[in-house]
Amino acid sequence: MTGLPKRLPTISQVAQAAGVSRATVSRTFSRPDLLKPETIKRVHEVAEKIGYVPNQVARALSTGRAGNIALVVPDIANPFFPPLIRAAQARADHAGYAVFLGDSDEQPEREDMLLTKMAAQVEGFILASPRLDEERVRAHAARRPLVLINRDIEGLPRILMDVSVGIAAAIEHLASLNHRHIAYVSGPPASWANQQRQQAAVRTAEKLGIHLTTVPAYHPNHEAGRKAAGELAQLPVTATIAFDDLVAQGIMAGLADLGWRIPQEMSIVGFDDVLAATTYPPLTTVAAHSADAGTQAVKLLTEVLSRGQIRDECIIIPTELIVRATTDQPTKRPRTASAEPRSETRTESSQQKPKRTGRR
């Protein structure tokens, strides 16, 4: 048990020890071009010895530039975000900014609170998949430059993902494999991302003359997918597109519990490509390139910060189908008469299979 660390060394201490003014020490670290090389050297030596590092807080107060940007996400634990966060950090670092990360826990009020508290400590905001209503987002954008990811609010710079390309590719891929009736397992109905994906799916299916049934999953996680599997098993579909990879993985587990083989008895397509290569079998999915979104957001924000102008820019990140091992031609189910109408029969048969009972 010891006392707390004393205060950090200050510019005054360095100035005194080096026999120069505070201004000179300050310039050593911010505008060395104004000083004699030997002065710089001396100050650096003294600073090193004392353990002085410029105080970012004081610097922020006097310059108004904190050297930080805020990145707010709804849930760090959702695997969609970590790659985005890493990429954002890397890019921010590159531009001399540190990233202040906030997790809103999916709650709009927490999002609001975080933005308010952070406002003075950061130069700008990046809001990923914000849950806040448009009016509040605009209010925050009026205080600090703000870039949106996965949310389309006119007049604000934003990074969007063009889901339609990827979804269309996925459905075309399934169609070419001879699937004629597929399901879309949705995410949170209120989510902007879900609306985009669902609409794109409906539109493409219509165009290709494919029968599409929507099954709700509400929460975008494994468990919801697992539950949805039960419902899927009763539908006459041979392929499923899930809201995201987590849901897809849950569906795979749920169907496996019912004894279904993938992709033979059900083709599965995920979305986001965040788990993709780690599932078994490796998941066919629509890659959303979330890391790119993080990079682009920071790039856009730092441009706004340095140019002093807000650009009503909208950067679209293309999505892309990645075919792995969960999609294949539909096969007639060996255990039910192939042409037999549907659900009841199929459900029964799948329930006859021995069910795994690992505890959860």
Sites for DNA among residues 11-70 (CB under 7 A): 11-12, 19-24, 26-27, 29-31, 34-36, 38-39, 52, 54-55, 58-59, 61-64
Q: How far is the CB of 276 from DNA (least distance, A)?
A: 45
Q: Which one, 27 or 140, has the nearer CB to DNA?
A: 27
8 binds DNA (CB under 7 A): yes
Q: Which stretch binds DNA (CB under 7 A): 8-16, 199-207, 254-262, 278-286?
A: 8-16
Sign of CA dihedral 264, 196, 208, 166: negative
Judged by CB under 8 A, the chain residues 8 through 47 that form the site for a second copy are 8
β-partners of residue 184 are 214, 241
Judged by CB under 8 A, the chain residues 171 through 200 that form the site for a second copy are none
Q: How far is the CB of 322 from a second copy (least distance, A)?
A: 8
Q: Which one, 55 or 176, has the nearer CB to DNA?
A: 55
Residue 29 contact among a second copy, DNA, none, beta carbon within 5 to 8 Å by kind: DNA
- Residue spans of alpha helices (H) in 150-289: 163-176, 192-208, 222-233, 245-257
Q: How far is CA 291 from CA 87, 166, 303, in A?
A: 5, 17, 18
Q: Which one, 19 or 51, has the nearer CB to a second copy?
A: 51
Q: What are phi and psi of 149, to 5 degrees?
A: -120, 130
Q: How far is the CB of 273 from a second copy (least distance, A)?
A: 12
Residue type, 37: P
Instruction: Give the C-alpha separation, 144 to 199, whole Å.
Output: 33
Number of residues that bind DNA (CB under 7 A): 31
Check: CB of residue 69 under 8 Å from CB of residue 126.
Answer: yes
Instruction: Give the C-alpha separation, 200 to 310, whole Å.
Output: 30
Strands 320-322 and 284-287: antiparallel
Pick the binder of a second copy from 25, 99, 239, 268 (CB under 8 A).
99
Sign of CA dihedral 74, 79, 85, 88: negative
Check: CB of residue 307 under 8 Å from CB of residue 280.
Answer: no
Q: How far is the CB of 145 from DNA (least distance, A)?
A: 17
Q: Which stretch binds a second copy (CB under 8 A): 5-13, 19-27, 162-170, 203-211?
A: 5-13
Pick the binder of a second copy from 31, 33, 37, 64 (CB under 8 A).
64
- 3-state class of 68 per DSSP? strand
> What's the start-to-end Cα distance of the chain, in Å?
43
Q: How far is the CB of 292 from a second copy (least distance, A)?
A: 15
Residue 34 contact among a second copy, DNA, none, beta carbon within 5 to 8 Å by kind: DNA
7 binds DNA (CB under 7 A): yes
* Cα–chain center distance at 347: 36
Pick the binder of a second copy from 34, 98, 316, 337 (CB under 8 A).
98
In 3D, which of 354, 312, 317, 282 has the Cα closest to residue 83?
317
309 binds a second copy (CB under 8 A): yes
Q: Which one, 121 or 264, has the nearer CB to DNA?
A: 121
Q: What is the DSSP letter of 317?
A: E
H/E stretch holding 336? none
253 binds a second copy (CB under 8 A): yes
Residue 135 contact among a second copy, DNA, none, beta carbon within 5 to 8 Å by kind: none
144: tokens are 């600090």
Q: Which stretch binds a second copy (CB under 8 A): 13-21, 53-61, 207-215, 229-237?
A: 53-61
